[in-house]
Structure formats: structure tokens, C-alpha cells
Amino acid sequence: MNGNKWTKRSLIVLLVLICFLLALTVFFHEVFIFVAIAPIFALLDHPWTPKSLYITFLAALMLVIAIVLVPKGGFVLHSLFYLAVIVELLVLYLIGQYRTKGRLNKFSLIIVCIGVEYLFLKLFIFENFLADILQGKPSWTRWNIYTGYLGAGPWILLTNLLFYQAVFKKDKINGFLIALGIAAIGLPMLYSFDLTNNPVTKDQLIRLYSGDDTNLPMPYAVYGELISRTGAWVSILIIIFTLVRAKTKKVAR
């Protein structure tokens, strides 16, 4: 029994170390962001305890520092709020897992994260977005005239989810899912390379949601942040479902 406890602790320490190392790699090249979040997903598989929350907090801090520093070149005050929101989402996810007895999945967490970014964009609270980390690679995201500037965020998160499923979910590494994850990185890039338009920039995102839609590319000027807006509506449904599910189980007892 004690041996199992130490094995779990060793696994958590290893995951935190992997988080730290992958966060460092993001400083060297943005492509590593497509795998850097995967071990944080793995940390969320551990039981909901104060210690697990603390370790997840540390892992999230490492990642957020990498996200903020790479595109901006310096740590900014708004990143502290960004960090607080991420940690709060992780905590709420763990609570939701506990209340629904594990029925929430990582895909639901991703949808909620996408929706929260859009909510804070509308409220003009955020200055940092996950998509910011790819600002230095405009040739990768020319398709965001269709998805919106924030569309790079779901791309990053869903790819990380594939690598989490491939490497961390089970004891054996799944080669097919690794290949699928590599394809999930490469195919959108190849499609972007084939386009000739300029990608939507963060400045254009802010201008659109400040009420200035002049000289914005089409169809972005019409549809705006299509993916994140959809994520916001789906997030509401997920939250309602979670609350109803928890309430129903409580009444059933």
C-alpha cells in the first residue's frame, strides 16, 4: 500500500518535471506548445486533493510563463490574471469530475477554456490569449480568417489532447495517436502555407471587438471569432449539464 503511494508520488513528480522541461522548450521554438500542455492533462487524472491542486498550479504557472514570455518578450501583470483563470478552470474541472464521478472529460475542459477566452474578450478583461504564442509564425495560421484569431487556441489544445491520449492516458504508448497528433500539427500548417492571404492579427481582433471593422479581411469582418464564440455557447450547455447532473445525483441520495 505504501509502495503504491510512493509510486503515485513519483509519477506526479515526473509529470511536473516533464511540464517544466516542455515549458522551457517553448522558449526555443513555438512548435513545442503543441505538446507542452499534454502532461498538465495527465496531472488532472490524479485524485482531487489539495496536493494535486498545488502541483497542477505549479505546472500551469510554468506553462503560462512560457506562453506570455515567448510572444511578448517579458512578463506582464495581466499574465497573473491569466494564470488565476487557468488555475480556477482546472480546480472547477476537478470539482466537476468529483461531483459527476468522472463523467467530465478533457474535451469538455477544452471547450470551456475556448468559451472563457471569448467571454473575457467580450468583457475586455484579457490581454493574453493562447493564440498569442503563434504571433511570430503568421505563415502557420492564415486560415484564421475563417476561424478567428483565437482559432489557434483550439488547434493547440486539441493537438495536446491527442498527445495526452497517446502518451499519458495508458501504460502503453499509442503510435497511431502520435501519428494523428503529428498530422494535426502538420496539416493545418500545410493548408496555411497554400493560402496567399495575411492572417488575422491580434490588433485586428481588438479593433473588431472595439467596434472598428474597417479594413478587416473577409470573411473575418462578418463572422468574427466564430470558433471561440461557438465554444462559449457550448460551454454554457456543458456547465448546465454538469450542475443538473450533480443536483440530480444529490436528490437521488
Taking the model in full, what pTM does it have?
0.84
Count of CB atoms situated within 10 Å of the CB of 20 = 16
Instruction: Look up residue 99 and give its three cell numbers.
Output: 461531483
d(CA 53, CA 46) in angstroms, rounded, equals 10
Average pLDDT over residues 65-88: 64
Q: Identify the band that residue 1 occupies on the pLDDT scale cut at 50, 70 and 90.
A: very low
Average pLDDT over residues 205-225: 85
The residue ranking higher by pLDDT, 79 or 193, is 193
Q: Return the pLDDT at 151.
A: 92
At a CB cut-off of 8 Å and minimum separation 6, what does 211 contact? none
Average predicted confidence (pLDDT) for the chain: 80
Average pLDDT over residues 87-107: 72
With CA atoms as reference, report the closest residue to 129 among 235, 236, 234, 225: 225
d(CA 28, CA 139) in angstroms, rounded, equals 18
pLDDT tens-digit map of 42-66? 888 876 666 666 677 767 766 776 6
d(CA 84, CA 61) in angstroms, rounded, equals 9
pLDDT tens-digit map of 23-38? 888 888 889 999 999 9
pLDDT tens-digit map of 110-164? 888 888 888 888 877 667 788 988 988 999 999 999 999 999 999 999 999 999 9
